[in-house]
Amino acid sequence: MLERMLERISESAYQKNFILKGGFLIASIVGLDTRTTMDMDATIRGLPVNEQSVREMFEEICRIKLNDDVSFTFRYIEEIREGDEYTGYRVALT
């Protein structure tokens, strides 16, 4: 399912702002089965990153309809990496 979310990101207004990283990226590069990865790590560049902006970004991306019979629903967002120089967010989708 992550590849379906990635497809929506690539069709969104944010396609140039997402920098994919982590296990999903490595699995994609080396040709591993990405279905074993349950999350996707990304950095956002060129946009303000705060809880409200990330929420709006993912709500908009979830509304993108493709011809794949897949839909995503935004569930919640939570702050991670408290105390670090840069705040991060975890977004949960269903």
Per DSSP, the residues of the chain read -HHHHHHHHHHSTTTTTEEEESHHHHHHHHT--GGG----EEEE-SS--SHHHHHHHHHHHHT---TTS----EEEEEEESTTSSS-EEEEEE-
For the entire predicted model, the pTM comes to: 0.81
How many domains does the chain fold into?
A: 1
- Token output for 15: 């396609």
Range of the domain at 73: 2-93
What single-letter amino acid sits at 25?
L
pLDDT tens digits, 14-67? 999 999 887 665 666 666 665 555 778 899 999 999 999 999 999 999 999 999
